[in-house]
Amino acid sequence: MNRQFCFSGGFQRFLILVTFLLLTGCGRDSAHTYYVDCKKGSDSNSGRSASNAFRTIRKASEVISPGEVCIVKKGNYPERVYIHTSGTKENPITFKASGKGVVTKGFTVEADFVRIEGFEITSTSPKGWKEGAGIHLKGRGCRLTNNYIHDVFLEGIRLGDDLTSASTSNCLVSGNRMIRCGQAGIQICGQNNRVENNEISGTVQWSKTNPQKLDADGMRFFGSGHVIKKNRVHSILLSDPENSDQPHIDCAQTWGPASNIVFEDNDFSLGENTLNKEIIMITEVTPPVGNIIFRNNIFHDAFRGLNIFGSHAPGHPSPIVDVKILNNTFAGFSDNAFELHDTHDAKVINNIFYECTSIFVDPKSRNANLESGYNCYYRKGGRQTRGVKASPSDLINVNPEFQDPAKKNFRLRSSSPLKGRGKVLYETGTDLPGKSIKKTKAPDIGAFIP
């Protein structure tokens, strides 16, 4: 009996030891990890341990294989890293910064299933599209997460080098912060990519040093099937000295092709109500453009809100079809909160328009299956929101009772008259492929803010 007890106790201790080794990494095969140290490493080393690290990230990119990880130690790496080796879905290739302060001149990725995590990227080259962006990616199944990208010549992240090709697809761009990037914080191309929880501010055209006179946008989006969710775009200013050539500024813009795209739970603002500043600009220069959903977003503090313009190009006189503007909060627009020009089969339902001067819907859009209702229009002092053709379900001059609009807290108070006053919606979104979104009771009007 005692022998059996002793054997059992020894076996338990053995299991505990094995578990400890696995959890602490002591049992991990070091052949799956490369190390880079710009201060103590050498590219003639094996790179297989922290004490035998490479000096450059580029050296690791030349030898790394599927399933392997490159860990980069804190320091300044004045190099552009080119990645041409693909991982697989089960065994991706990972480049990971070891904490803050790993500074590079960015990455050009032409490979699948590559992960880039936690780098600071700045001072990219002005020589070309692939070198100018903080991260230029052409690949499938890649993940760009938690990078800090600032003061780069072109976009912070350029996702895809072809507007619609599946060669850039099913990628995740999440948790990145982009400040003072050239032309746009992010450009999204390809198919079925997810862009979420990113912050973009201070985009510039570099007017003092760049003769191209770029625009200065938060995002540009093309292709199809994307989900753009829980991002914040703010503080892109015409008063910035590097925007002295008066760029047209949008939080997000496309001229097509762009279809089957969802904007959800975003907070977009520009901080100035001056001309040439819009939240989202959609035109159809290159069709198709359509099947775009704006759901549960907060759009505020700009000259104009959504500007959706079909038949924009003389060579392509076709409308934009199937735009849904659902359960959003619009606040503080000195011009139109939204405009619909030759936009067919549009839905404008369950939105709040707070301190918005006007809206505009042209006759072509009004006569092309426009569904509008259950919207709240409110301006202080009993002023009217111009351009509204109210339906019986609309709430006109009803204060939504935000918690603190002066501080941009647009949550509804518990006493708000908009609680439970919205329309029950039935829709299918690309963020839930093949699944229906059905609310069983009347929702609140406006964006839901947890």
CA distance 156 to 122: 9
Cα separation, 178 vs 195, whole angstroms: 13
Q: What is the CATH number of the domain that holds 129?
A: 2.160.20
pLDDT attached to residue 273:
75
Long-range contact set of residues 436-441: C-beta below 8 Å, sequence gap at least 24: none
Closest CA to 78 of 43, 109, 107, 103: 103
Q: Does residue 176 contact residue 156 with C-beta atoms inside 8 Å?
A: yes
Q: Please tell me whether residue 149 adopts helix, strand or coil conformation.
A: strand
| Residues across the chain | 450
Q: Does the residue 98 lie in any domain? A: no
Calpha distance 290→277 (Å, rounded): 23
Distances 348 to 117, 132, 295, 408 between C-alpha atoms, Å: 39, 39, 10, 23
Structure tokens at 414: 């518990």
- Tokens at 47, concatenated: 């790179």
From first to last of its 450 residues, the chain has per-residue pLDDT tens of 444 433 445 555 555 544 444 444 443 445 599 999 999 999 999 999 999 999 999 999 999 999 999 999 999 999 999 999 999 999 999 999 999 999 999 999 999 999 999 999 999 988 777 899 999 999 999 999 999 999 999 999 999 989 999 999 999 999 999 999 999 999 999 999 999 999 999 999 998 888 777 899 999 999 999 999 999 999 999 989 999 888 999 999 999 999 999 999 999 999 877 777 899 999 988 889 999 999 999 999 999 999 999 876 666 678 999 999 999 999 999 999 999 999 999 999 999 999 999 999 999 999 999 999 999 999 999 999 999 998 999 999 999 999 999 999 999 999 999 999 999 987 654 444 445 555 568 899 999 988
Domain-located, residue 236: yes
* CA gap 313, 330 in Å, rounded: 28
Question: Running DSSP on this structure, what letter comes out for residue 242?
Answer: G
What's at 139, amino acid-wise?
Answer: G
Instruction: Say if 244 falls within a structural domain.
Output: yes
Question: Residue 4 has what pLDDT?
Answer: 43
Place of tokens 């600009």: 281
- For residue 144, how many C-alpha atoms fall within 13 Å in the half-sphere facing its CB? 37
pLDDT of residue 21: 43
Q: Where are the alpha helices (DSSP H) in 104-164?
A: 129-132
| Beta bridge partner(s), residue 194 | 172, 227
Contacts of 121 (CB under 8 A, 6+ apart): 103, 104, 105, 106, 107, 134, 135, 147, 148, 149, 150, 152, 156
Domain membership flag for residue 418? yes
307 touches 292 (CB < 8 A) = no
**Distance between CA 294 and CA 282 in Å, rounded?**
12
Sequential DSSP letters for 355-419: EEEEEEE-HHHHTTT-EEES-EEE-GGG---BT----TT-EES----EEEGGGTEEEEPTT-TTT
How many whole angstroms separate alpha carbon 123 and alpha carbon 134?
8
Quick check: is 425 in a domain? yes
| Sign of the four-CA dihedral 377, 381, 386, 392 | positive
Q: Which domain holds residue 252?
A: 103-438
- The residue to which tokens 């050498």 are assigned: 42
SS3 label, residue 448: coil
**Any domain includes 22:** no
Phi-psi region of 47 (alpha: psi -120 to 50; beta: other; left: phi over 0): left
Integer angstrom CA distances of residue 140 from 91, 156, 159, 182, 361: 13, 19, 10, 25, 39
Assess if residue 33 is contained within a domain: no
Tokens of 142: 């890649």
In a domain, 428, yes or no: yes
pTM of the model: 0.91
The total number of structural domains that make up the chain: 1
